Structure 1
Amino acid sequence: MVADSSFAKQYCQLCAEVCEWCASQCEEHKNKHCKLCAESCRRCMEECKKIAAA
């Protein structure tokens, strides 16, 4: 992204999809660290979606 790659938006879209998948997997567990991971993944997903849509 620093190099203004023509693939930056595609990379961010893929990252958003991976984060969404990870969050859904972590949400299936009751452990606190899994819930924290899911929250973190959701925040990352939202930011990546913003960049991908820009």
Structure 2
Amino acid sequence: MARDSRFAEAICELCAEACEWCAQQCGAHDHDHCQACAKACRECVDTCRAMAA
């Protein structure tokens, strides 16, 4: 991002996709630690997508 890489947008979008998948997987479980992971991953999705825009 700081060096204005031509790949920055794609990398941020890939990170968002990975975190979205993780949120879905962890969110499917009722354990507190899984729900905490899903919440963190959803926040990461939002941040990565904002950076990719």
Q: TM-score, normalised by structure 1?
A: 0.90
Partner of 1:47: 47
Gaps of 5+ in 2: none
Mapped partners of 1:3, 1:36: distance in 2: 33
* Identical-pair percentage: 53
**What displacement does 1:18 show?**
0.5
Aligned residue pairs total: 53
Aligned alpha-carbon RMSD (Å): 0.8
Which residue identity lines up with residue 8 of structure 2 in the other structure?
A
Q: TM-score, normalised by structure 2?
A: 0.92
Gaps of 5+ in 1: none
